[in-house]
């Protein structure tokens, strides 16, 4: 069960958590006509400061996702940034996960959403490491899924829509049934794509590589962050097509995501990789230093909760 917070922002107002409900005939509940984001607010115990990481980039991506599925968001990204900071402050949460959602609400049934209202919520709640605290150090097990990531011409993976996640749910449940914590999805052409809520990187002979967005994957904000951090650390990076065997041959494999952060993979399809390797560790340490506000050069990515 999830931990509750005090308020949820809905259409411009802070509503008490328990009262922020919706009708069962909400359009998006039936057809997945919604887009969303997920991000984290980090608390630095030493400085007493809280920062939402890359808040504006997340809100801009949500507005872009909405545009792709022709949902008109009645707020700008900047307004949603301000609303998020207001909500976290009102909830008095020094560190939390943040979930904004834009959805077709109650008023219209049938696939055509025309006439359904567009509702916007921003919720936050305390949420620890997505794949478990131990996972960040020891790594998780993953399995290549029999479920393929959707092609670029079927619910575009670049669009973070609620409807997309049935695919992730199928892959996640299959992975768990096989005893793994996470799934790696290939695309229809058989190339490595991403996890169910994460992008994926491999390291081989000191080179960091990840599949390009054109393979059909979400252009992750953590993925972009890691590409930047790798360049700072003088780690060579390439965006390249990867096949299943590249995962087995890798020296290191890790997942990235706003929820999953930088999570090492200890084994794939029962082939051991060996937990958190040196490059994964270096990137992970720099990632957490940055989100804690310790890297001056990345202060533009931090949105302080006053
Ligand atoms: N791929 C998928 C399918 C995801 O759901 C996520 C999480 N949003 C990611 C990748 C990672 O994206 P980000 O780093 O922006 O959270």
Is 151 found in the same domain as 91?
no
Q: Among 100, 169, 257, name the best residue to mutate to test ligand 1's pocket (greatest count of ligand atoms within 8 A of Cβ).
A: 257
Is any ligand 1 atom within 6 A of the Cβ of residue 171?
A: no
User: Ligand 1 center to residue 107 CA distance, Å?
Assistant: 31
- Please pick, among 6, 160, 172, 176, the residue that the annotation labels catalytic: 160
Is any ligand 1 atom within 6 A of the Cβ of residue 100?
A: no
95 located within any domain: yes
197 located within any domain: yes
Is 200 found in the same domain as 119?
no
Tally of domains in the chain? 2
Is 110 found in the same domain as 41?
yes
Is 153 found in the same domain as 93?
no
Q: Among 55, 159, 220, name the best residue to mutate to test ligand 1's pocket (greatest count of ligand atoms within 8 A of Cβ).
A: 220
Is 230 found in the same domain as 85?
no
Is 156 found in the same domain as 110?
no
Neighbouring C-alpha atoms within 13 Å toward the C-beta of 201: 32
User: Ligand 1 center to residue 258 CA distance, Å?
Assistant: 7
Of 31, 286, 262, the residue nearest 136 (C-alpha): 262
Is 33 found in the same domain as 92?
yes
Range of the domain at 208: 135-291
Is any ligand 1 atom within 6 A of the Cβ of residue 256?
A: yes
- Tell me the pairing of strands 207-210 and 237-239: parallel
ipTM of the predicted assembly exceeds 0.90: yes
Q: Residue with the nearest Cα to atom 9 of ligand 1?
A: 198
Is 111 found in the same domain as 45?
yes
- Ligand 1 nearest atom to the CA of residue 168, by list position: 3
CB atoms within 10 A of CB 272: 11
160 belongs to the catalytic site: yes
User: Ligand 1 center to residue 257 CA distance, Å?
Assistant: 5
Is any ligand 1 atom within 6 A of the Cβ of residue 222?
A: yes
Is any ligand 1 atom within 6 A of the Cβ of residue 220?
A: yes
Is 228 found in the same domain as 83?
no
**CATH number of the domain that residue 64 is part of:** 3.30.470.10
- pLDDT tens for 49-96 read 999 999 999 999 999 999 999 999 999 999 999 999 999 999 999 999
304 located within any domain: no
Is 108 found in the same domain as 255?
no
Instruction: Pull the structure tokens for residue 20.
Output: 């922020």
**CATH number of the domain that residue 272 is part of:** 3.20.10.10
Q: What is the pLDDT of residue 130?
A: 84
* pLDDT mean by block of 10 residues, the chain; 306 residues: 93 98 98 98 96 98 98 98 98 97 97 97 92 91 98 96 98 98 98 98 98 98 98 98 98 98 98 95 98 96 97
């Amino acid at each position: 069960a999830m931990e509750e917070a005090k308020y949820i922002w809905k259409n411009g107002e802070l509503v008490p958590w328990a009262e922020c409900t919706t009708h069962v005939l909400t359009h998006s509940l039936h057809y997945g006509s919604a887009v969303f984001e997920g991000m984290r607010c980090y608390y630095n115990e030493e400085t007493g400061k809280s920062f939402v990481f890359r808040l504006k980039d997340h809100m801009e991506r949500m507005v872009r996702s909405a545009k792709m599925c022709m949902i008109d968001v009645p707020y700008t990204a900047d307004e949603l940034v301000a609303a998020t900071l207001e909500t976290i402050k009102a909830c008095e949460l020094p560190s939390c996960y943040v979930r904004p959602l834009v959805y077709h609400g109650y008023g219209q049934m049938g696939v055509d959403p025309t006439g359904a209202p567009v509702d916007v919520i921003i919720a936050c709640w305390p949420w620890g490491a997505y794949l478990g605290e131990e996972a960040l150090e020891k790594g998780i097990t993953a399995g290549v899924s029999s479920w393929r990531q959707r092609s670029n011409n079927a619910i575009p993976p670049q669009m973070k829509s609620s409807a997309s996640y049935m695919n992730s749910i199928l892959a996640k449940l299959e992975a768990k049934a096989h005893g793994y914590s996470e799934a790696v999805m290939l695309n229809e052409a058989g190339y490595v794509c991403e996890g169910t809520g994460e992008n994926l990187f491999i390291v081989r002979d000191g080179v960091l590589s990840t599949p390009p967005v054109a393979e059909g994957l979400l252009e992750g904000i953590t993925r972009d962050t890691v590409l930047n951090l790798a360049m700072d650390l003088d780690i060579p990076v390439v965006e390249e097509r990867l096949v299943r065997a590249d995962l087995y041959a890798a020296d290191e494999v890790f997942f990235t995501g706003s929820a999953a952060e930088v999570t090492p993979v200890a084994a794939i399809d029962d082939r051991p990789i060996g937990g958190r390797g040196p490059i994964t560790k270096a990137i992970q340490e720099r990632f957490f230093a940055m989100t804690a506000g310790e890297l001056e050069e990345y202060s533009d990515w931090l949105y302080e909760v006053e």
